[in-house]
Structure 1
Amino acid sequence: MNGYWEGIVEKCNGRSSLMSSSQKAPLKIAKPFARSDGGLTIYLMDASPGLFGGDLQTIICRIGCNSSLYLTNQSSCKIHPSHTQELSLQMQTFYIENGALFEYIPEPIVPYEGSRYEGATTLYMQTGGSAIIGEILTPGRIGRGEVFLFRKFQSTFSVYWDEQCMVWDTLVIEPMRISNRLIMGTFTHVGTLYVLSEMMNESHVVAIRKVLDSIVGIDVYAGCSALQKNGMIVRMLGNHAWRLQEVMRECHMHIRKIIFGLEAIDIRK
Protein backbone atom coordinates (compact mmCIF):
# COMPACT_ATOMS: atom_id res chain seq x y z
CA MET A 1 0.00 0.00 0.00
CA ASN A 2 1.22 3.46 -0.87
CA GLY A 3 0.21 5.83 1.92
CA TYR A 4 0.55 9.54 1.20
CA TRP A 5 0.14 12.84 3.03
CA GLU A 6 0.95 16.33 1.82
CA GLY A 7 0.29 19.50 3.76
CA ILE A 8 0.96 23.23 3.78
CA VAL A 9 1.19 25.20 7.02
CA GLU A 10 0.99 29.00 6.91
CA LYS A 11 0.81 31.76 9.49
CA CYS A 12 -2.59 33.44 9.37
CA ASN A 13 -3.89 36.07 11.81
CA GLY A 14 -0.96 35.47 14.12
CA ARG A 15 -1.41 31.69 14.29
CA SER A 16 -0.04 28.74 12.35
CA SER A 17 -2.79 26.95 10.42
CA LEU A 18 -3.04 23.95 8.11
CA MET A 19 -4.02 25.65 4.85
CA SER A 20 -3.92 22.58 2.62
CA SER A 21 -3.95 18.84 3.26
CA SER A 22 -4.26 15.83 0.96
CA GLN A 23 -3.94 12.21 1.96
CA LYS A 24 -4.20 8.66 0.70
CA ALA A 25 -5.01 5.68 2.91
CA PRO A 26 -3.67 4.15 5.00
CA LEU A 27 -1.88 7.40 5.94
CA LYS A 28 -3.93 10.27 7.35
CA ILE A 29 -3.79 12.97 10.02
CA ALA A 30 -5.82 13.70 13.12
CA LYS A 31 -7.43 17.09 13.63
CA PRO A 32 -4.59 19.65 14.04
CA PHE A 33 -4.12 21.14 17.51
CA ALA A 34 -3.54 24.89 17.84
CA ARG A 35 -1.05 25.58 20.64
CA SER A 36 -1.06 28.49 23.08
CA ASP A 37 2.27 29.70 21.65
CA GLY A 38 0.69 30.20 18.21
CA GLY A 39 2.19 27.04 16.74
CA LEU A 40 0.45 23.96 15.36
CA THR A 41 0.70 20.27 16.33
CA ILE A 42 -0.22 17.52 13.86
CA TYR A 43 -0.42 13.77 14.52
CA LEU A 44 0.15 11.40 11.60
CA MET A 45 -1.91 8.18 11.74
CA ASP A 46 -1.34 4.94 9.85
CA ALA A 47 -4.44 2.75 9.58
CA SER A 48 -2.38 -0.25 8.46
CA PRO A 49 -0.34 -2.65 10.66
CA GLY A 50 2.83 -1.02 9.30
CA LEU A 51 5.05 -1.12 6.22
CA PHE A 52 5.33 -4.34 4.20
CA GLY A 53 7.70 -5.23 1.37
CA GLY A 54 6.77 -3.16 -1.69
CA ASP A 55 4.98 -0.48 0.35
CA LEU A 56 5.84 3.19 -0.14
CA GLN A 57 4.93 5.84 2.42
CA THR A 58 5.33 9.44 1.28
CA ILE A 59 5.17 12.50 3.54
CA ILE A 60 5.53 16.02 2.13
CA CYS A 61 5.00 19.27 4.02
CA ARG A 62 5.73 22.94 3.43
CA ILE A 63 6.13 25.11 6.52
CA GLY A 64 5.50 28.67 5.42
CA CYS A 65 7.18 31.91 6.47
CA ASN A 66 7.13 32.57 10.25
CA SER A 67 4.91 29.55 10.95
CA SER A 68 5.57 26.79 13.49
CA LEU A 69 4.74 23.08 13.19
CA TYR A 70 5.34 20.14 15.52
CA LEU A 71 4.76 16.92 13.59
CA THR A 72 4.70 13.45 15.16
CA ASN A 73 2.89 10.12 14.86
CA GLN A 74 0.71 8.09 17.19
CA SER A 75 2.78 4.92 17.43
CA SER A 76 5.99 3.28 16.30
CA CYS A 77 6.66 2.61 12.62
CA LYS A 78 6.55 -1.19 12.25
CA ILE A 79 8.51 -2.72 9.38
CA HIS A 80 7.12 -6.14 8.49
CA PRO A 81 9.01 -9.08 6.94
CA SER A 82 9.67 -9.01 3.23
CA HIS A 83 9.11 -12.42 1.63
CA THR A 84 10.54 -11.10 -1.63
CA GLN A 85 13.43 -8.76 -2.37
CA GLU A 86 11.10 -5.75 -2.32
CA LEU A 87 11.90 -3.00 0.17
CA SER A 88 9.64 -1.12 2.54
CA LEU A 89 10.14 2.51 1.54
CA GLN A 90 9.51 5.76 3.41
CA MET A 91 10.18 9.09 1.70
CA GLN A 92 9.82 12.34 3.66
CA THR A 93 10.35 15.80 2.19
CA PHE A 94 9.98 19.07 4.06
CA TYR A 95 10.28 22.69 2.91
CA ILE A 96 11.08 25.16 5.69
CA GLU A 97 10.69 28.80 4.70
CA ASN A 98 12.12 32.00 6.19
CA GLY A 99 11.33 32.42 9.89
CA ALA A 100 9.59 29.03 10.15
CA LEU A 101 10.24 26.43 12.86
CA PHE A 102 9.65 22.77 12.05
CA GLU A 103 9.89 20.03 14.69
CA TYR A 104 9.50 16.37 13.75
CA ILE A 105 10.04 13.70 16.40
CA PRO A 106 8.21 10.48 15.50
CA GLU A 107 7.96 7.32 17.58
CA PRO A 108 10.76 4.71 17.26
CA ILE A 109 11.16 2.51 14.19
CA VAL A 110 10.74 -1.24 14.81
CA PRO A 111 12.11 -3.49 12.02
CA TYR A 112 10.69 -7.02 12.31
CA GLU A 113 12.65 -10.19 11.60
CA GLY A 114 13.37 -10.54 7.88
CA SER A 115 12.35 -6.98 7.01
CA ARG A 116 14.08 -4.68 4.53
CA TYR A 117 13.73 -0.91 4.86
CA GLU A 118 15.01 2.19 3.14
CA GLY A 119 14.01 5.66 4.27
CA ALA A 120 15.01 9.12 3.12
CA THR A 121 14.31 12.41 4.88
CA THR A 122 15.14 15.56 2.93
CA LEU A 123 14.88 19.13 4.21
CA TYR A 124 14.99 22.20 1.97
CA MET A 125 15.81 25.16 4.21
CA GLN A 126 15.43 28.82 3.32
CA THR A 127 17.53 31.47 5.02
CA GLY A 128 15.99 32.10 8.45
CA GLY A 129 14.30 28.70 8.68
CA SER A 130 14.89 26.30 11.61
CA ALA A 131 14.21 22.62 12.25
CA ILE A 132 14.57 19.96 14.96
CA ILE A 133 14.39 16.37 13.68
CA GLY A 134 14.58 13.19 15.76
CA GLU A 135 14.85 9.49 14.93
CA ILE A 136 15.17 6.37 17.10
CA LEU A 137 15.88 2.88 15.75
CA THR A 138 15.19 -0.26 17.77
CA PRO A 139 16.73 -3.70 16.99
CA GLY A 140 13.30 -5.29 16.51
CA ARG A 141 10.63 -6.87 18.68
CA ILE A 142 12.78 -7.55 21.71
CA GLY A 143 9.89 -9.12 23.62
CA ARG A 144 9.76 -11.85 20.95
CA GLY A 145 13.52 -12.36 21.02
CA GLU A 146 14.06 -10.43 17.78
CA VAL A 147 17.34 -8.55 18.12
CA PHE A 148 18.98 -7.48 14.85
CA LEU A 149 17.19 -10.16 12.85
CA PHE A 150 16.05 -7.78 10.09
CA ARG A 151 17.74 -8.02 6.69
CA LYS A 152 18.46 -4.37 6.01
CA PHE A 153 17.85 -0.94 7.48
CA GLN A 154 18.98 2.20 5.67
CA SER A 155 18.07 5.73 6.70
CA THR A 156 19.36 8.79 4.84
CA PHE A 157 19.05 12.35 6.12
CA SER A 158 19.96 15.30 3.90
CA VAL A 159 19.63 19.06 4.26
CA TYR A 160 19.80 21.75 1.58
CA TRP A 161 20.35 25.36 2.63
CA ASP A 162 19.25 27.64 -0.20
CA GLU A 163 19.62 24.71 -2.64
CA GLN A 164 23.15 23.82 -1.47
CA CYS A 165 23.61 20.40 0.16
CA MET A 166 25.09 20.97 3.62
CA VAL A 167 24.18 17.75 5.47
CA TRP A 168 24.16 14.16 4.24
CA ASP A 169 24.00 11.45 6.90
CA THR A 170 23.30 7.77 6.25
CA LEU A 171 22.85 4.89 8.69
CA VAL A 172 23.02 1.42 7.12
CA ILE A 173 22.74 -1.76 9.17
CA GLU A 174 22.75 -5.22 7.56
CA PRO A 175 23.07 -7.72 10.44
CA MET A 176 23.53 -10.67 8.06
CA ARG A 177 26.66 -9.06 6.61
CA ILE A 178 28.30 -7.60 9.69
CA SER A 179 27.79 -8.17 13.41
CA ASN A 180 25.96 -5.42 15.25
CA ARG A 181 28.64 -5.76 17.93
CA LEU A 182 31.07 -4.23 15.46
CA ILE A 183 28.73 -1.30 14.94
CA MET A 184 27.17 -0.50 18.31
CA GLY A 185 29.12 -2.54 20.85
CA THR A 186 26.88 -3.70 23.69
CA PHE A 187 24.09 -1.26 22.77
CA THR A 188 20.97 -2.17 20.79
CA HIS A 189 19.20 1.16 20.13
CA VAL A 190 20.41 4.27 18.33
CA GLY A 191 18.89 7.75 18.40
CA THR A 192 19.72 10.93 16.49
CA LEU A 193 18.57 14.50 17.02
CA TYR A 194 19.36 17.09 14.34
CA VAL A 195 19.16 20.81 15.12
CA LEU A 196 19.22 23.18 12.14
CA SER A 197 19.25 26.94 12.63
CA GLU A 198 21.32 29.98 11.72
CA MET A 199 20.84 31.14 15.31
CA MET A 200 22.92 28.24 16.61
CA ASN A 201 26.52 28.76 17.77
CA GLU A 202 29.24 26.89 19.67
CA SER A 203 27.83 27.92 23.06
CA HIS A 204 24.68 25.93 22.30
CA VAL A 205 26.75 22.81 21.59
CA VAL A 206 28.55 23.26 24.91
CA ALA A 207 25.20 23.70 26.70
CA ILE A 208 23.74 20.49 25.25
CA ARG A 209 26.90 18.58 26.15
CA LYS A 210 26.37 19.69 29.74
CA VAL A 211 22.76 18.52 29.55
CA LEU A 212 23.92 15.12 28.29
CA ASP A 213 26.52 14.86 31.06
CA SER A 214 23.81 15.45 33.64
CA ILE A 215 21.24 12.93 32.36
CA VAL A 216 23.10 10.04 30.72
CA GLY A 217 24.55 7.13 32.67
CA ILE A 218 26.05 3.73 31.98
CA ASP A 219 22.85 2.79 30.12
CA VAL A 220 23.21 5.57 27.53
CA TYR A 221 26.23 6.75 25.53
CA ALA A 222 25.72 10.10 23.84
CA GLY A 223 27.60 12.96 22.23
CA CYS A 224 26.96 16.29 20.52
CA SER A 225 28.84 17.92 17.63
CA ALA A 226 28.41 21.04 15.52
CA LEU A 227 27.57 20.57 11.86
CA GLN A 228 29.61 22.27 9.17
CA LYS A 229 27.03 25.03 9.00
CA ASN A 230 23.95 26.17 10.91
CA GLY A 231 23.36 23.23 13.18
CA MET A 232 24.38 20.39 15.45
CA ILE A 233 23.76 16.68 15.84
CA VAL A 234 23.15 14.66 19.00
CA ARG A 235 23.79 10.93 18.63
CA MET A 236 22.94 8.46 21.37
CA LEU A 237 23.17 4.71 21.98
CA GLY A 238 21.20 2.72 24.53
CA ASN A 239 19.33 -0.49 25.26
CA HIS A 240 15.80 0.83 25.73
CA ALA A 241 13.68 3.01 23.44
CA TRP A 242 12.03 4.80 26.35
CA ARG A 243 15.43 5.78 27.75
CA LEU A 244 16.58 7.31 24.47
CA GLN A 245 13.23 9.09 24.18
CA GLU A 246 13.80 10.49 27.66
CA VAL A 247 17.25 11.82 26.73
CA MET A 248 15.98 13.18 23.41
CA ARG A 249 13.05 14.91 25.12
CA GLU A 250 15.39 16.59 27.61
CA CYS A 251 17.69 17.80 24.83
CA HIS A 252 14.73 19.00 22.79
CA MET A 253 13.35 20.96 25.75
CA HIS A 254 16.68 22.73 26.34
CA ILE A 255 17.19 23.43 22.63
CA ARG A 256 13.79 25.12 22.38
CA LYS A 257 14.66 27.29 25.36
CA ILE A 258 18.29 28.27 24.73
CA ILE A 259 18.10 28.74 20.95
CA PHE A 260 14.52 29.79 20.28
CA GLY A 261 13.40 31.13 23.66
CA LEU A 262 10.42 28.77 23.72
CA GLU A 263 8.97 26.59 26.45
CA ALA A 264 8.72 22.81 26.15
CA ILE A 265 5.78 21.31 24.25
CA ASP A 266 3.59 18.87 26.15
CA ILE A 267 2.86 16.08 23.67
CA ARG A 268 0.29 13.50 24.79
CA LYS A 269 -0.16 10.08 23.20
Structure 2
Amino acid sequence: MKGKPATAELRAYFHQSDDRTFLKGKYHTAPIKIAKSFQMDQELGIIVMDVSPGMLEGDNYSMEWFAGQNTSLYVTNQSFTKVHPCPNGGRAEMRQLFQLDQSAFVQYMPQPSMLYQDAEYMNTTVVRLAPGAVWMQAEVLCPGRTHLGERFKYRHYQSALSVYYQDEMIFNQRQRIVPSSQNLQEKGAWEEQTHWGTFYVFSDRINSSHVEAIREKLQSLPQTPKSEVLFGVTLTYRHGLVVTASAQAAWPLQETLECAFHFIRKTVFGKGMIN
Protein backbone atom coordinates (compact mmCIF):
# COMPACT_ATOMS: atom_id res chain seq x y z
CA MET A 1 0.00 0.00 0.00
CA LYS A 2 1.35 3.40 -0.99
CA GLY A 3 0.45 6.83 0.25
CA LYS A 4 1.86 10.09 1.49
CA PRO A 5 3.13 9.82 5.08
CA ALA A 6 0.87 11.49 7.62
CA THR A 7 2.00 13.69 10.48
CA ALA A 8 -1.09 13.75 12.67
CA GLU A 9 -1.79 15.46 15.99
CA LEU A 10 -4.54 15.14 18.55
CA ARG A 11 -4.81 17.16 21.76
CA ALA A 12 -7.72 16.99 24.19
CA TYR A 13 -8.43 18.87 27.42
CA PHE A 14 -10.91 17.75 30.10
CA HIS A 15 -12.41 19.41 33.18
CA GLN A 16 -14.80 18.46 35.96
CA SER A 17 -18.05 20.31 36.70
CA ASP A 18 -21.04 19.24 38.82
CA ASP A 19 -19.48 15.78 39.35
CA ARG A 20 -19.23 15.18 35.60
CA THR A 21 -16.29 15.23 33.22
CA PHE A 22 -16.51 17.32 30.06
CA LEU A 23 -14.38 17.72 26.95
CA LYS A 24 -13.17 21.29 27.40
CA GLY A 25 -11.27 21.61 24.14
CA LYS A 26 -9.72 19.57 21.36
CA TYR A 27 -7.51 19.87 18.31
CA HIS A 28 -6.79 17.24 15.70
CA THR A 29 -5.39 16.79 12.21
CA ALA A 30 -6.20 14.02 9.74
CA PRO A 31 -6.32 11.09 9.79
CA ILE A 32 -6.96 10.86 13.56
CA LYS A 33 -9.76 12.47 15.51
CA ILE A 34 -12.11 12.02 18.45
CA ALA A 35 -15.02 10.26 16.79
CA LYS A 36 -17.32 10.41 19.79
CA SER A 37 -17.48 11.49 23.42
CA PHE A 38 -20.31 10.32 25.65
CA GLN A 39 -21.29 10.36 29.29
CA MET A 40 -21.04 7.03 31.10
CA ASP A 41 -22.19 6.22 34.62
CA GLN A 42 -18.94 7.26 36.27
CA GLU A 43 -16.75 8.74 33.55
CA LEU A 44 -16.59 10.37 30.14
CA GLY A 45 -16.11 7.91 27.30
CA ILE A 46 -13.85 8.84 24.37
CA ILE A 47 -13.52 6.92 21.08
CA VAL A 48 -10.57 7.73 18.82
CA MET A 49 -10.88 7.14 15.09
CA ASP A 50 -8.17 6.70 12.48
CA VAL A 51 -9.87 7.30 9.13
CA SER A 52 -6.94 5.83 7.18
CA PRO A 53 -6.55 2.09 6.37
CA GLY A 54 -3.82 1.95 9.03
CA MET A 55 -0.38 3.35 9.75
CA LEU A 56 1.97 3.50 6.77
CA GLU A 57 5.71 3.89 6.55
CA GLY A 58 6.67 7.41 7.63
CA ASP A 59 3.40 8.05 9.52
CA ASN A 60 3.95 9.94 12.74
CA TYR A 61 1.03 10.28 15.16
CA SER A 62 1.11 12.38 18.33
CA MET A 63 -1.71 12.36 20.89
CA GLU A 64 -1.79 14.41 24.10
CA TRP A 65 -4.39 14.04 26.85
CA PHE A 66 -4.76 16.66 29.60
CA ALA A 67 -7.02 15.51 32.45
CA GLY A 68 -7.96 18.24 34.90
CA GLN A 69 -8.48 17.82 38.63
CA ASN A 70 -11.02 15.09 39.55
CA THR A 71 -11.81 14.23 35.92
CA SER A 72 -12.59 10.63 34.99
CA LEU A 73 -12.00 9.30 31.45
CA TYR A 74 -12.29 6.05 29.57
CA VAL A 75 -10.42 6.20 26.24
CA THR A 76 -10.47 3.56 23.51
CA ASN A 77 -10.32 3.33 19.71
CA GLN A 78 -12.57 1.92 17.03
CA SER A 79 -10.42 -0.92 15.72
CA PHE A 80 -7.04 -2.61 15.76
CA THR A 81 -3.96 -0.43 15.27
CA LYS A 82 -2.78 -1.81 11.91
CA VAL A 83 0.79 -1.12 10.77
CA HIS A 84 1.39 -1.74 7.07
CA PRO A 85 4.67 -2.90 5.45
CA CYS A 86 7.58 -0.46 5.50
CA PRO A 87 9.46 -1.44 2.33
CA ASN A 88 11.95 1.45 2.30
CA GLY A 89 13.52 0.88 5.71
CA GLY A 90 11.44 3.48 7.54
CA ARG A 91 8.85 3.05 10.26
CA ALA A 92 5.52 4.21 11.62
CA GLU A 93 5.56 5.97 14.98
CA MET A 94 3.03 6.77 17.70
CA ARG A 95 3.75 9.13 20.62
CA GLN A 96 1.37 9.80 23.50
CA LEU A 97 1.38 12.03 26.56
CA PHE A 98 -1.04 11.68 29.48
CA GLN A 99 -0.96 14.64 31.89
CA LEU A 100 -3.12 13.98 34.98
CA ASP A 101 -3.89 16.65 37.55
CA GLN A 102 -4.73 15.85 41.16
CA SER A 103 -7.19 12.93 41.57
CA ALA A 104 -7.74 12.57 37.82
CA PHE A 105 -8.75 9.03 36.76
CA VAL A 106 -7.73 8.01 33.22
CA GLN A 107 -8.17 4.61 31.61
CA TYR A 108 -6.64 3.95 28.19
CA MET A 109 -7.95 0.67 26.78
CA PRO A 110 -7.15 0.44 23.04
CA GLN A 111 -7.83 -2.43 20.66
CA PRO A 112 -4.83 -4.72 19.91
CA SER A 113 -1.92 -3.73 17.68
CA MET A 114 -1.14 -5.76 14.57
CA LEU A 115 2.04 -5.41 12.53
CA TYR A 116 1.90 -6.69 8.96
CA GLN A 117 4.79 -8.43 7.21
CA ASP A 118 7.84 -6.12 6.93
CA ALA A 119 6.26 -3.53 9.21
CA GLU A 120 8.27 -1.43 11.66
CA TYR A 121 6.57 0.39 14.53
CA MET A 122 7.65 2.47 17.50
CA ASN A 123 5.20 3.36 20.28
CA THR A 124 6.26 5.81 23.00
CA THR A 125 4.09 6.81 25.98
CA VAL A 126 4.80 9.30 28.78
CA VAL A 127 2.50 9.56 31.81
CA ARG A 128 2.70 12.37 34.38
CA LEU A 129 0.73 11.92 37.61
CA ALA A 130 -0.20 14.41 40.31
CA PRO A 131 -0.99 13.09 43.83
CA GLY A 132 -4.19 11.03 43.89
CA ALA A 133 -4.22 10.54 40.12
CA VAL A 134 -4.85 7.11 38.57
CA TRP A 135 -3.72 5.87 35.14
CA MET A 136 -4.54 2.44 33.72
CA GLN A 137 -3.77 0.86 30.37
CA ALA A 138 -4.21 -2.56 28.75
CA GLU A 139 -2.52 -3.44 25.47
CA VAL A 140 -2.24 -6.54 23.29
CA LEU A 141 0.37 -7.19 20.59
CA CYS A 142 -0.46 -9.64 17.78
CA PRO A 143 2.23 -11.47 15.74
CA GLY A 144 0.68 -10.48 12.41
CA ARG A 145 -2.23 -11.50 10.21
CA THR A 146 -2.17 -15.16 11.21
CA HIS A 147 -5.10 -15.98 8.89
CA LEU A 148 -2.78 -15.00 6.00
CA GLY A 149 0.12 -17.04 7.32
CA GLU A 150 1.93 -14.07 8.90
CA ARG A 151 3.52 -14.92 12.21
CA PHE A 152 6.40 -12.78 13.47
CA LYS A 153 7.14 -11.60 9.95
CA TYR A 154 7.22 -7.93 10.89
CA ARG A 155 10.64 -6.28 10.87
CA HIS A 156 10.85 -4.39 14.15
CA TYR A 157 8.60 -3.49 17.08
CA GLN A 158 9.66 -1.12 19.84
CA SER A 159 7.71 0.33 22.74
CA ALA A 160 8.61 2.64 25.61
CA LEU A 161 6.61 3.68 28.67
CA SER A 162 7.79 6.27 31.20
CA VAL A 163 5.70 7.20 34.25
CA TYR A 164 6.34 10.18 36.53
CA TYR A 165 4.79 10.85 39.92
CA GLN A 166 5.11 14.60 40.35
CA ASP A 167 8.69 15.15 39.14
CA GLU A 168 10.06 11.68 39.96
CA MET A 169 10.32 8.95 37.34
CA ILE A 170 8.77 5.88 38.98
CA PHE A 171 8.65 3.52 35.98
CA ASN A 172 10.62 3.11 32.77
CA GLN A 173 9.87 0.17 30.49
CA ARG A 174 11.44 -0.68 27.13
CA GLN A 175 10.53 -3.54 24.79
CA ARG A 176 12.23 -4.37 21.49
CA ILE A 177 11.26 -7.26 19.22
CA VAL A 178 13.23 -8.10 16.07
CA PRO A 179 11.87 -11.48 14.93
CA SER A 180 14.56 -12.06 12.30
CA SER A 181 17.36 -11.99 14.88
CA GLN A 182 15.60 -13.18 18.07
CA ASN A 183 14.66 -16.80 18.71
CA LEU A 184 11.22 -15.97 20.05
CA GLN A 185 9.95 -19.57 20.02
CA GLU A 186 12.92 -21.01 21.91
CA LYS A 187 12.73 -22.41 25.44
CA GLY A 188 12.77 -19.59 27.95
CA ALA A 189 11.42 -17.11 25.38
CA TRP A 190 7.85 -17.07 24.05
CA GLU A 191 7.93 -20.80 23.13
CA GLU A 192 4.49 -21.65 21.68
CA GLN A 193 2.88 -18.36 22.69
CA THR A 194 2.27 -15.81 19.94
CA HIS A 195 0.36 -12.90 21.50
CA TRP A 196 1.57 -10.64 24.31
CA GLY A 197 -0.54 -8.53 26.67
CA THR A 198 0.13 -6.05 29.45
CA PHE A 199 -2.04 -4.28 32.00
CA TYR A 200 -0.68 -1.33 33.96
CA VAL A 201 -2.14 0.60 36.88
CA PHE A 202 -0.33 3.51 38.55
CA SER A 203 -1.72 5.23 41.63
CA ASP A 204 -0.45 6.16 45.08
CA ARG A 205 -3.20 3.86 46.42
CA ILE A 206 -1.60 0.69 44.98
CA ASN A 207 0.17 -1.53 47.52
CA SER A 208 1.51 -5.06 47.90
CA SER A 209 -1.83 -6.53 49.02
CA HIS A 210 -3.24 -6.00 45.53
CA VAL A 211 -0.68 -8.33 43.91
CA GLU A 212 -1.89 -11.53 45.56
CA ALA A 213 -5.54 -10.49 45.28
CA ILE A 214 -5.37 -9.95 41.53
CA ARG A 215 -3.29 -13.09 41.07
CA GLU A 216 -5.96 -15.18 42.80
CA LYS A 217 -8.66 -13.54 40.69
CA LEU A 218 -6.90 -14.35 37.41
CA GLN A 219 -6.11 -17.90 38.52
CA SER A 220 -9.84 -18.48 38.94
CA LEU A 221 -10.53 -17.80 35.25
CA PRO A 222 -11.39 -20.89 33.15
CA GLN A 223 -8.63 -22.23 30.92
CA THR A 224 -8.80 -24.49 27.86
CA PRO A 225 -5.88 -25.89 25.82
CA LYS A 226 -6.53 -23.56 22.88
CA SER A 227 -7.05 -20.46 25.00
CA GLU A 228 -4.57 -20.96 27.84
CA VAL A 229 -3.14 -17.73 29.20
CA LEU A 230 0.17 -17.56 31.04
CA PHE A 231 0.49 -14.51 33.29
CA GLY A 232 2.47 -12.85 36.04
CA VAL A 233 1.70 -10.02 38.45
CA THR A 234 4.23 -7.69 40.07
CA LEU A 235 4.59 -4.38 41.84
CA THR A 236 6.70 -1.67 40.26
CA TYR A 237 9.29 0.48 42.04
CA ARG A 238 6.65 2.91 43.29
CA HIS A 239 2.88 3.31 43.02
CA GLY A 240 2.33 0.73 40.32
CA LEU A 241 1.26 -2.79 39.44
CA VAL A 242 1.80 -4.69 36.16
CA VAL A 243 0.14 -7.81 34.78
CA THR A 244 1.98 -9.43 31.86
CA ALA A 245 0.37 -12.26 29.92
CA SER A 246 0.82 -14.38 26.80
CA ALA A 247 -1.44 -16.65 24.76
CA GLN A 248 -1.98 -18.07 21.28
CA ALA A 249 -4.79 -15.65 20.37
CA ALA A 250 -5.81 -12.09 21.13
CA TRP A 251 -9.26 -12.73 22.63
CA PRO A 252 -8.19 -14.72 25.74
CA LEU A 253 -5.62 -12.04 26.49
CA GLN A 254 -8.25 -9.33 26.15
CA GLU A 255 -10.55 -11.21 28.53
CA THR A 256 -7.75 -11.69 31.08
CA LEU A 257 -6.64 -8.07 31.00
CA GLU A 258 -10.22 -6.81 31.17
CA CYS A 259 -10.75 -9.01 34.22
CA ALA A 260 -7.69 -7.44 35.87
CA PHE A 261 -8.92 -3.98 34.89
CA HIS A 262 -12.41 -4.42 36.33
CA PHE A 263 -11.07 -6.11 39.47
CA ILE A 264 -8.79 -3.14 40.20
CA ARG A 265 -11.58 -0.66 39.41
CA LYS A 266 -13.86 -2.34 41.94
CA THR A 267 -11.53 -3.37 44.77
CA VAL A 268 -9.16 -0.39 44.80
CA PHE A 269 -11.25 2.49 43.48
CA GLY A 270 -14.84 1.39 44.17
CA LYS A 271 -15.99 1.73 40.55
CA GLY A 272 -18.49 -0.49 38.73
CA MET A 273 -18.27 -2.49 35.52
CA ILE A 274 -17.90 -0.85 32.11
CA ASN A 275 -20.08 -2.55 29.51
Distance 2:167 2:192 in 1: 39
Residue of structure 1 equivalent to 2:53: 49
Q: Are 1:88 and 2:87 matched, yes or no?
A: no
Runs of 4+, deviation exceeding 3 Å: none
Structure 2 gap ranges (5+): 1-5
Does the aligned pair in 1 maintain the 2:36–2:48 contact within 8 Å?
no
- Give the letter for the 1:57 counterpart: Y
Select 2:205's aligned residue among 199, 202, 205: 199
Q: 1:238 to 1:216 in 2, by over 3 A?
A: farther
With normalisation by structure 1, the TM-score equals 0.96
- Secondary structure of the equivalent of 2:271? coil
Does the aligned pair in 1 maintain the 2:203–2:240 contact within 8 Å?
yes
Distance 2:182 2:135 in 1: 33
Does the aligned pair in 1 maintain the 2:231–2:243 contact within 8 Å?
yes
- Secondary structure of the equivalent of 1:95? strand
Distance 1:14 1:214 in 2: 36
Shift of 1:216: 5.8
Does the aligned pair in 2 maintain the 1:216–1:222 contact within 8 Å?
no
Residue of structure 2 equivalent to 1:23: 28
- Secondary structure of the equivalent of 1:147? coil
- Give the letter for the 1:131 counterpart: W
Residue of structure 1 equivalent to 2:252: 243
Distance 1:211 1:171 in 2: 27
Select 1:232's aligned residue among 230, 237, 241: 241
Distance 2:8 2:220 in 1: 41
Distance 1:216 1:137 in 2: 22
1:122-166: CA deviation from partner (whole Å, max 9, x where unpaired): 101111111111111000000000000000000111101112111
Shift of 1:13: 2.1
Taking only aligned residues, the RMSD between alpha carbons, in angstroms, comes to 1.0
Distance 1:121 1:143 in 2: 30
Residue of structure 2 equivalent to 1:259: 268
Does the aligned pair in 2 maintain the 1:190–1:237 contact within 8 Å?
yes
- Give the letter for the 1:30 counterpart: A
With normalisation by structure 2, the TM-score equals 0.94
Distance 2:146 2:239 in 1: 37
Distance 2:217 2:8 in 1: 38
Residue of structure 1 equivalent to 2:216: 210
Structure 1 gap ranges (5+): none
Select 2:191's aligned residue among 185, 188, 212: 185
- Secondary structure of the equivalent of 1:31? strand
1:5-39: CA deviation from partner (whole Å, max 9, x where unpaired): 100111012210000110001001122111122x1
- Secondary structure of the equivalent of 1:242? helix
Q: Are 1:10 and 2:15 matched, yes or no?
A: yes
Percent identity, please. Answer: 33
Shift of 1:3: 2.1
Shift of 1:54: 0.5
Distance 1:31 1:192 in 2: 26
Distance 1:163 1:70 in 2: 25
